[in-house]
Structures are given as C-alpha cells and as structure tokens.
Amino acid sequence: MNQAMRKLLRLVLAAGFLGLMPQVASALSCRATVSNINFGSVSVRTGATNQTSGTVNISCSGTLLSLVGVCLRFGPGSGGAGNSNSPRYMRRGDGAALPYQLRPVGNGNAFGTLNEIYVPVTTLLGRGSATVPIFADITANSVAVGSGQYSSTFSGASDIEMEYGELTTCALLNQSASIPPFTVSAEVVPSCELDVTSLNFGTISGSLNQPVDETATINVRCTSDTDYTVGLDMGGGGGSNPANRQMRSGLQTLNYGLYRDGSRTMPWGNLPGNSMSATGNGSNNAFTVHGRIHAGQSPGMGVYTDSVIVTITY
C-alpha cells in the first residue's frame, strides 16, 4: 500500500471514529406562551353563562432524556384583582370593571382559581413539549355592568412567570424565563331584564257605575347607556286599542284599559307612539301601569283574567 492510500485510510478511520463519539447535551432551556383568551360578545343578564378557554404551550430542550418540571404562576393582570386573585377584573376604557376568573381544570366555581400550575414535560433526544388548557369564566350576572369592550393584559413577572428544572415540584425549581404577554378580553353587549307584578282589580260589583282603578309595576334593568322602550301587547282579547282590552271568564267579557299616566288619558300599547322609553343605568327603573275597568258594564259572576306580554326593545 503506497503512502497516499495509507493517508486516505487514516482519514477515513478518523472520520468514522468521530462519528461514533457521544453527543454532549446543552444546558436545559424552556419557554412558554399563553394564548389570548377572548370571550367574544357576552350578555351579563341574570342567569347568563359566559365561559371560554385558552392554551399554554411549553417547549424544553437540552436534556437527552429527562422529566422536566415547569411551573407557571398567574398574577392579577392589568385589570387588578381581589384577595388571592378572586375575582380578577377586566377593565373598560373608563375604568369600569367586569369580574372574571381563570381556572386550572375546568369551567365553574367548583374548579377554583388559577394561581399556579405545574406541567411535566418529557424530553427525548434533547427536545420535549406540552400543551395544557386553561379555563375562564365571567362571574358577573348583572346588567349593572355597563356595555362595551373590556380587557386585562398579563405582562411581566408580577402577572405571569415561569420556573423550570429537572424536579417534580414547583417549590424546588430554580431556573426562570419570561413569558410573552397575553390578553383576556370580552365585549359586553347591551341587555335588559325585567320583573312584573300582577294587576289585580279585586272583587268588583256586578253593576259598574264608576270605573275601577288599580296599578301594577314593571321593573326594568338595562346596561348603562342602553336606550330601550317598554311595550304592552293587546292581551288575549285582541283588538288594536290599548284603552279597550278584554278580560274573559268563559264566554263573558269585561272591558278594561292600560295607561301610562295616573289620569288614564295616555293608553299604553306596543307602538312607538304609545309605549314608554328610557335609558338604562344598570339598576331598577320602575314603570307604573295604570289599569282601569270601564264604568257602565254589568259583568256576570266569575273570575276574569287576561295575559299581557311586556316587551323590552333595545
């Protein structure tokens, strides 16, 4: 074998030897991102349920085969929070607050408050990742919350921080990394709710020489700055004149009217010209319904009733 071939062989052997040398793992490094959490358009009427979720994405590198522990801690966000972050708040541009909560396992009060979460990440051949959900509920159930756009941003270590290491408890992790900001947002749409008392004329004479007057109350609650109208339909008796409705007892009828004023001169219907209008302020606005059974009737014995539908248009 000549000198040139021996040199080539040595080079090939050297290359082969280097190819079999074990790789040296680099230092452990982890990073995480949290998706924006958007409730979209929500109503905050009594009984409304507004829930959504987001995700935490974690990736780690640097160890060939290991279980890496990642701990994320969540603070109040820019909207602020109550004791122990319960509740957290989103804020409107004028500072108005919309209470909500982040939760670790699922939606609803039973799943507590998300302040800290431990995520195990298995690395294989130097890389590993994990994706976990986080849940969010709006806890307000009152139109006292005004309509508009609300948000809270989590930015910086006081709002969102991460620690990690090759341990299985948050208490012992010793490496940290910053997390990009994320935002929780919702748009509260105008909404209204109401309750109505019955209008009961009581026991009346079979010969009506004088009208019989009574009142009922409609309580309306609408989000602040929401313009609305309150209309009353014609009830089961039909017709088009709100001053001349009919209660019924079997085949017998009894004429009555519903009015917007105490003197009973302004009939109350469901058209623009005979309904009531107001602007919401988040609390009760009471409307008095003035009822009158008209004189000059001779109703037979019986219980007379009618059902009138109250409509809030906003």
pLDDT tens digits for range 270-294: 999 999 999 999 999 999 999 999 9
Q: What confidence tens digit (pLDDT) does each residue in 225-275 have?
A: 899 999 999 999 878 899 999 999 999 999 999 999 999 999 999 999 999
Residue 196 pLDDT greater than 50, yes or no = yes
> Pick from 163, 158, 110: which is nearest to 135 by CA?
110
SS3 (DSSP) at 263: coil
Mean pLDDT of the chain: 90
Mean pLDDT in residue range 114-120: 95
Residue 23 pLDDT greater than 70, yes or no = no
- pLDDT value at position 167? 80
Mean pLDDT in residue range 30-55: 96
- Please tell me if the domain spanning 25-188 has the same topology as the one spanning 192-313: yes
Least confident of 63-67, 108-112, 176-180, 198-202: 63-67
Here the tokens at position 107 are 């939606």
Residue 271 CB coordination number (10 Å): 10
- pLDDT value at position 113? 97
Percent of the chain with pLDDT over 90: 82
Here the tokens at position 84 are 């122990």
Written as one letter, the residue type at 203 is: T
- pLDDT value at position 169? 83
Least confident of 126-130, 171-175, 307-311: 171-175
Mean pLDDT in residue range 308-312: 97
CATH fold for the domain made of 25-188: Immunoglobulin-like (2.60.40)
> What global pTM score does this model have?
0.79
Question: How far apart are the C-alpha atoms of 234 and 247, rounded to whole Å?
Answer: 11
Mean pLDDT in residue range 175-204: 96
* Surface-to-core class of residue 145, CB atoms within 10 Å of its CB (0-12 exposed, 13-18 middle, 19+ buried): buried
Classify 192-313 by CATH class.
mainly beta
Residue 114 is classified by DSSP as: -
Buried b (16+ CB within 10 A) or exposed e, 89-127: bbbbeeebbbbbbbbbeebeeeeebbeebebebebeebe
Domain spans, the chain: 25-188, 192-313
Residue 184 pLDDT greater than 50, yes or no = yes
